[in-house]
Chains A and B, each alone.
Chain A
Amino acid sequence: MSRGMPRASGYFRTSYTQDLALTQTRLERVSLLAFAVTLAAFPFLATAFYLDLACQVFLAAIGALSLMLLTGYAGQISLGHAGLLAAGAFTAGILFHEFNAPFWVTLPAAAVVGALLGIVFGLPSLRLRGLYLAVSTLALHFVVVYLGGEYETKRGYSTGIVIDPPTIGGYAITNGRAWYFVLLIAAAAALLVCINLLRSRTGRAWRAIRAHETVAEALGIHIPAYKLLAFVISSAMAAVAGALFAYYRHFVSVEAFSLFLSIQYVAMIIVGGMGSLLGALLGAVFVTLFPYLIEAALQKLPDAQSYAGVLFAVNYAAFGGVMILFLVFEPLGLVGIWHRVQSYFLLWPFKHRPVAGAGK
C-alpha cells in the first residue's frame, strides 16, 4: 500500500503468493488487525453524531479513491467529479421513483450509468491534456447538474427526491450502526478493488501514461483504451458512491452537487497526496472533518453564538487557506508528512537513508 521507506530491510518474498499478499511483515499484519478491531468497535463506543461523521468519511473515501485512480495514477485531470456523483444519485432516485426499483438493481444501474458518463467525460481526454481536459470536465459537470435540475422540476420534485431506505430481506437499513458497517464494507471493497487494479497491467499502464505519454505509447500501451478505461472505472465507482450517498441521506437534490463539491474532492487528493491510495483516504478524512474542526474551534471562543452567522464564511476562507498552504509548502500532501514521520522513527538515530544498496 505505501511505497518508499520499507518496513523491513531487503526483499524476502520467495513465491508469487507472498508477493500478492496485502501485508508483508508481522508488524503490518498486527497493525492491520488492530485497525480493523478499532473500526469494528467504533460504532459501539461513539454517539450518533460521530457515527454520522464516520459514514460521511466512508462515502467521501470511495469518491476520493475513484478520483485518485483517475488523476493521481492515470494523470487525467477531472474537475467534474460532483457531476458523476450526481449522476449516480439521480439514477438511484429516478429508478426508485419511476420503477420502484430495489437497491440491488439501482446500485449496479448507477455503476452502468456512471460508466457510460465516464466515456462521455473521457472522450475529450483522447484529444486534450492538462488544462483543456480539466476545463472540458468542468463544462460537463455543469451540463449534468443542469439535466438533474430539469428532471427535478419537470417531474415535480421541487424540494428534491425522497428515497426509501434500502431493504435487505425485509429489514430496512435505517440504524446508524447498520449504515456504518454497510459503508465500511463498501469503502473496504472499493479500496481492495483499487489496490488490485493498481497492481495489475492496467495500473502499470496508467502509471506509464501519467509519467510520460509518448514513451508509454512507444512501449506499446494502447493509450486511448487505457485513458477511457480510467475514466470508465473511476466514474462507475463515483456513481456508486453517489447512489450510496442518496440512500444514506434518503434524499437527492441537485443543490448538493455544486462546483464546490468537485473542488473538495480535488482537494482531498491534493491534500492527501497524489499518487497514493493512502493519500486518498487521509485526504477524505481531512476534508470531511475539516468544517467540524473549525466549528469546534470557534465554539471555544467567547460569544460563540454570534459567530454562527459567519461560520461558513470562515470555513470557506480556512479551506481555501489550507489548500493553498498544502499546494505551496507540502506538495506531497499528508502522505508526504506521514512518510517523513515514518522515516524519522525508522531511521532514528540516523537522519538520512543510506546512500547505496540497502533496499528501496
Chain B
Amino acid sequence: MQLVVNIVVLSAIYALIACGYVLIYRVSRVLNLAHGELMMLGAYLLLATAASFAGNPAAAIAAAVVLSLAVGILVYVLLMRKMTGEMVLAAVLTTVALGTLLRGLVVLIWSAQQQYPGQALGFANPAIAVPGGGRVSTFAAILVVTTALVYAGLFVFLRFGRWGVRMRAAGQNPLLAAQRGINLHAVYALAWGLSTLTGSLAGMLIALDSGLTSSMTIIGLKAFPAALVGGLDSLVGALIGALIIGAAEVLSIQYIDPLLSDVVPFLVLIAMLIVRPWGLFGTHEELDRV
C-alpha cells in the first residue's frame, strides 16, 4: 500500500510540473526548458514573501502565487515575445539561456544554502495515515489534491472559458486565430503566466514538504519526459505520462536498483521516442513542425 502511496505522490509531483510544459507547448509550440528554474524561483518567492508577511501564512502564499503569475507574464512580454516567428530552436535555446540566467540570479539573491519555507511560515508537516496501511506527509497529500484541482480547473478553463477557447484556437492554427481577432500576444502571455503559476505551485509544495535547494531544477527536468510520453500538447497525456514515469521510478527503486531512478525517466523517454514520438495522446502532425 505504501508503494501505491509513493507512486501517487511522485506522479502528482511530475504531473503538476508537466502541465506547465504542456500549456506552453500547446499554445505556442515552444518548449520551455526553463520550467525547472521557474519552478525553483516560485519556491524562493514564497521564501521571500514569508519573510515579508511573517505571521500571516495565507497572505504569504497568496502573494507568492500572484507574483509567480506576474513573473510568467513578464517573461513572455520582455523576452519570448521577441522570439515569436524565429526558428523554434532559437526560442528553445532562449529558454535554456533564461534558465541559466535565473539559476545565477537565484544564488546571487538568496545564496546557495538549503532553505526551509515551511519553517519560515510556521507549518508543521505531520504524517497522515492512509486507509490500507500507508503513510503520507501532510504536504504531499496537499500536493496530490492540488494537482487534481489544477488539472480539473485547466480542463474546465480550456473547454469552456473564453480565454481557454482562445488558447486552444491559437494552439491549433495561429494564423486563423489571429485573423479571427484573437490577440495572440495576450494569449501567449496568459499561457506563460499559467504555466509559471502551476510550476511555482509545484515548487512551493515540494519546498514546503521537504526543503528548498537549488537542485530542484533537475526535478523539473525529470518531469519533462512525463510531458513528452503523454504527448507534448495533451493535458490528459501529461497526467498519464506522469503516472507512467512515477510508477517506473518507484518500482525501479523498490525492485531493481535505486540508482536507476535517476535515469529511468530518460530511458522511458527514449523508448517512447523510438516507438511513438508524438506521445500517447499527442497530435501526430507535431512531428513535422520544425
Contact residues of A with B, CB < 8 Å? 77, 123-124, 127-132, 134-136, 138-140, 142-143, 146, 150, 259-260, 263, 266-267, 270, 310, 312-321, 323-324, 327-328, 331
The distance from the CB of A285 to the nearest CB of chain B, in whole angstroms, is 19
A316-B103 contact given A129-B288, A131-B31, A143-B263, CB 8 Å threshold: yes
**Contact partner of A324 among B31, B88, B98, B105, CB < 8 A?**
B98
A sample of 6 more A-B contacts (CB under 8 A), given A132-B273, A143-B263, A263-B96, is: A129-B288, A134-B89, A135-B31, A135-B224, A138-B266, A143-B267
B270 at the interface (CB under 8 A from A): yes
A134-B108 contact given A142-B266, A320-B101, CB 8 Å threshold: no
B2-10, B79-87, B148-156, B163-171 - the one binding chain A = B79-87
Q: Is the CB of B107 within 8 A of A316?
A: yes
- The docked-state distance in angstroms from the alpha carbon of A319 to that of B105 is 11
Q: For residue B96, which residues in chain A have a CB less than 8 angstroms away from its CB?
A: 263, 266, 323
Closest A residue to B106 by CB, please name it.
A313
A134-B104 contact given A320-B97, A327-B83, A327-B97, CB 8 Å threshold: no
Closest B residue to A142 by CB, please name it.
B266
Q: Is the CB of A323 within 8 A of B97?
A: yes
The secondary structure that dominates the A interface is: helix
Q: For residue B112, which residues in chain A have a CB less than 8 angstroms away from its CB?
A: 313
A139-B273 contact given A146-B262, A324-B79, CB 8 Å threshold: yes
Q: Is the CB of A146 within 8 A of B88?
A: no
Q: Is the CB of A132 within 8 A of B287?
A: yes
Interface 1/0 per residue, B45-74 and A, CB below 8 Å: 000000000000000000000000000000
- The docked-state distance in angstroms from the alpha carbon of A318 to that of B94 is 14
Q: Which of B100, B224, B267 has the most CB of A within 10 A?
A: B100
- The docked-state distance in angstroms from the alpha carbon of A327 to that of B97 is 9
Q: For residue B31, which residues in chain A have a CB less than 8 angstroms away from its CB?
A: 131, 135
Closest B residue to A327 by CB, please name it.
B94
**Contact partner of A77 among B89, B97, B101, CB < 8 A?**
B89
**Contact partner of A135 among B93, B101, B269, B287, CB < 8 A?**
B269
B237 at the interface (CB under 8 A from A): no
Q: For residue B269, which residues in chain A have a CB less than 8 angstroms away from its CB?
A: 135-136, 139
Closest B residue to A323 by CB, please name it.
B97
B117 at the interface (CB under 8 A from A): no
Q: Is the CB of A140 within 8 A of B89?
A: no
Closest B residue to A79 by CB, please name it.
B96
- The docked-state distance in angstroms from the alpha carbon of A320 to that of B34 is 11
Q: For residue A323, which residues in chain B have a CB less than 8 angstroms away from its CB?
A: 93-94, 96-97, 100
